[in-house]
């Protein structure tokens, strides 16, 4: 009996560290490479930010879900629940702080429509950014919406350059959020969290990548945001 117990303990001691190691093998670092970001008050509703993503010891492809380069604000994060984003699988979001490092929450409203067809059109639309950094709303079919909402981003090397677009004035479906920032200096940074098993909207041909999905969270560096 004692020998059997000893064998079980040995097996646990062998496999447990491997299991922990595999779950925590990848550490992602997202670095905003712009030192200062400038926006024009009341005229600029989206801003372009250059960034780099680093994954040490990456030997294969790593997948990030809900990692869209057109980024909504983290409207539910505040000074009182700053880590709540870690418990939600909302993917990539951005946060703005004032000079005292207090989180500024965006204002939000629920849209109402006189005509049902206008509401359906809005719900079926998604946000894109033009070459002139203008917000464009495109109506997508059901398949295109699933691909857009899943926003699968593939990391294939230890270092990767990115262009990210925080949307300051966000209208999508029946929900709108926006910042009304006075002129001044602020701080901006990104947060990411994905904690669930692969969502049901993943197509069958993606099942082979289940073990490559990053299911954790990370925070980027902060950069100065100047509102003119």
The domain of 114 spans 27-227
Quick check: is 98 in a domain? yes
| Domain presence at residue 11 | no
pLDDT tens digits for range 156-184: 889 999 999 999 987 776 677 788 889 99
pTM of this prediction exceeds 0.85? no
Nearest to 126 by CA among 69, 87, 82: 69
**Cα–Cα distance between 195 and 213 in angstroms, integer?**
10
Q: How many domains does the chain have?
A: 1
pLDDT at 3: 52
Domain-embedded: residue 81: yes
In this structure, is residue 22 part of a structural domain? no
Examine residue 102 and state whether it is found in any structural domain, yes or no.
Answer: yes
* 223: nearest Cα among 30, 16, 32, 17: 32
Tokens, residue 92 = 């990539």
Convert the pLDDT of each residue in 56-74 to its tens digit: 888 788 889 999 999 988 7
Residue 18 lies in a domain: no
118/32 Cα distance (integer angstroms) = 38
Burial of 11 (0-12, 13-18, 19+ CB in 10 A): exposed
62 domain-assigned: yes
**Residue 168's CB: how many other CB atoms inside 10 A?**
22
Q: With cut-offs at 50, 70 and 90, classify the pLDDT of residue 141.
A: very high
In a domain, 3, yes or no: no
Report the DSSP pairing between strands 36-39 and 223-227: parallel
Residue pair 67/93 in contact (Cβ under 8 Å)? The answer is no
* Cα–Cα distance, 192 to 190 (Å, whole number): 7
Q: Which of 33-37, 105-109, 115-119, 209-213 is predicted with the least confidence, judged by mean pLDDT?
A: 209-213
């Amino acid at each position: 009996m004692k020998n059997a117990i000893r064998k079980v303990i040995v097996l646990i001691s062998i496999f447990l560290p491997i299991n922990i190691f595999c779950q925590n093998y990848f550490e992602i670092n997202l670095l905003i490479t712009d030192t200062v970001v400038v926006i024009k008050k009341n005229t600029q509703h989206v801003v372009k930010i250059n960034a780099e993503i680093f994954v040490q010891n990456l030997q294969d492809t790593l997948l990030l879900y809900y990692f869209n380069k057109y980024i909504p604000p983290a409207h539910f994060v505040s000074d009182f629940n700053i880590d709540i984003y870690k418990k939600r699988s909302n993917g990539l979001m951005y946060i703005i702080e004032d000079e005292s490092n207090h989180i500024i929450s965006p204002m939000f409203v629920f849209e109402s429509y006189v005509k049902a067809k206008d509401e359906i059109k809005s719900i079926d639309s998604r946000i894109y950014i033009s070459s002139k950094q203008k917000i464009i709303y495109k109506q997508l079919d059901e398949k295109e919406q699933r691909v857009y909402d899943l926003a699968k981003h593939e990391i294939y090397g230890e270092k990767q350059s990115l262009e990210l677009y925080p949307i300051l004035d966000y209208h999508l479906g029946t929900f709108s959020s926006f910042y009304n920032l006075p002129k001044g200096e602020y701080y901006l940074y990104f947060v990411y969290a994905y904690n669930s098993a692969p969502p049901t909207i993943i197509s069958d041909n993606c099942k082979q990548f289940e073990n490559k999905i990053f299911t954790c969270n990370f925070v980027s560096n902060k950069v100065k945001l100047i509102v003119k």
